[in-house]
């Protein structure tokens, strides 16, 4: 009987020991920080990735994600020339490990909706208001850089770091799109007209030059046609025989060569 009691006690002790270890073990995954909460109060010290032990029912560990997270934020802004711009901005951000405890203590776990997204919307509006609608198209990379800097400045006190900002969409009103299309068409037509005018000028100049060359050649030919040249040409073609003409009284008349 005593032996059985000892076995039961030993088994119970082992069970309690295993249960105690299981209940007190806290695992923090890689890329996370463990925020220690004791009696409901957030402690300043945090736990790195790995297995840790804490008193069950007294101490709990909240796992805070410190990995890079992507979120897309939609918004509506007004450009410098008062065009309505619908935007979609992609944000890559993360919570800094050494700020995990303070951020959890003051904000909680939902920092994205409480801090980040409102900050992004406000910063996007502020930056877009500095550019005209056309500049937003031609200076897209510059605009992204300014949004990145503005958002970082806004959220860094809360332990958030913005790694990258990408403007996914810039949607303009149908009236603005029509105006841009009309402007591009007008520019293309103006360019074509300019090219046509230049071609006509070149062709006209070519005709002038051809006329000048033809007139010069004609002038030179006229200078060559003289009495002397005619005589020389006649002599060059003469076969040495004098032509004769018989008159009515049978007399031969030879032409006189001067």
d(CA 83, CA 53): 58
From 40-54, 124-138, 163-177, 237-251, the region with the lowest mean pLDDT: 237-251
Helix H or strand E encompassing 233 = helix 227-237
pLDDT tens per residue across span 206-235: 887 787 877 777 776 666 656 666 666 666
pLDDT band, residue 237 (cuts 50/70/90): low
Q: Where in the chain is the domain with CATH 3.30.479.30?
A: 69-172
Strand partners, 164: 92
- The backbone torsions φ and ψ at residue 107, rounded to the nearest 5 degrees and listed phi first, read -120, -40
pLDDT tens per residue across span 135-145: 998 999 999 99
Cβ atoms of 140 and 128 closer than 8 Å: no
Mean confidence (pLDDT) of the chain: 79
- This model's pTM is above 0.75: no
pLDDT in the model for residue 17 = 41
Looking at the predicted structure, is the pLDDT value of residue 89 above 90?
Answer: yes
- In CATH, what number does 69-172 get? 3.30.479.30
Looking at the predicted structure, is the pLDDT value of residue 73 above 80?
Answer: yes
Average pLDDT on 40-58 reads: 81
Looking at the predicted structure, is the pLDDT value of residue 19 above 50?
Answer: no
Looking at the predicted structure, is the pLDDT value of residue 183 above 50?
Answer: yes
Which residue in the block uniquely carries the two structure tokens 């040249």?
Answer: 229
pLDDT band, residue 103 (cuts 50/70/90): very high
Is the alpha carbon torsion for 4, 6, 9, 14 positive or negative?
negative
């Amino acid at each position: 009987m005593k032996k059985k009691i000892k076995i039961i006690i030993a088994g119970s002790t082992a069970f309690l020991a295993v249960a105690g270890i299981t209940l007190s073990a806290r695992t923090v995954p890689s890329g996370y920080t463990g925020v220690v909460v004791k009696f409901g109060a957030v402690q300043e010290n945090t736990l790195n990735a790995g297995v840790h032990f804490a008193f069950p029912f007294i101490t709990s560990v909240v796992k805070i994600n410190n990995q890079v997270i992507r979120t897309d934020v939609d918004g509506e802004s007004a450009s410098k020339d008062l065009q309505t711009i619908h935007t979609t901005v992609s944000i890559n951000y993360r919570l800094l490990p050494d700020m995990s405890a303070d951020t959890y203590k003051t904000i909680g776990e939902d920092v994205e909706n409480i801090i980040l997204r409102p900050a992004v919307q406000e910063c996007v509006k502020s930056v877009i208001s500095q550019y005209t609608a056309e500049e937003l198209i031609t200076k897209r990379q510059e605009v992204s850089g300014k949004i990145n800097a503005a958002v970082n400045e806004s959220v860094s006190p809360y332990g958030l770091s913005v790694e990258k900002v990408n403007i996914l969409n810039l949607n303009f009103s149908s009236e603005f799109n029509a105006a841009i299309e009309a402007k591009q068409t007008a520019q293309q037509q103006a360019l074509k007209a300019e090219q046509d005018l230049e071609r006509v000028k070149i062709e006209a100049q070519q005709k002038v030059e051809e006329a000048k060359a033809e007139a010069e050649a004609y002038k030179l030919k006229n200078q060559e046609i003289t009495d002397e040249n005619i005589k020389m040409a006649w002599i060059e073609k003469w076969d040495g025989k004098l032509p004769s003409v018989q008159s009515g009284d049978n007399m031969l008349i030879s032409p006189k060569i001067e």
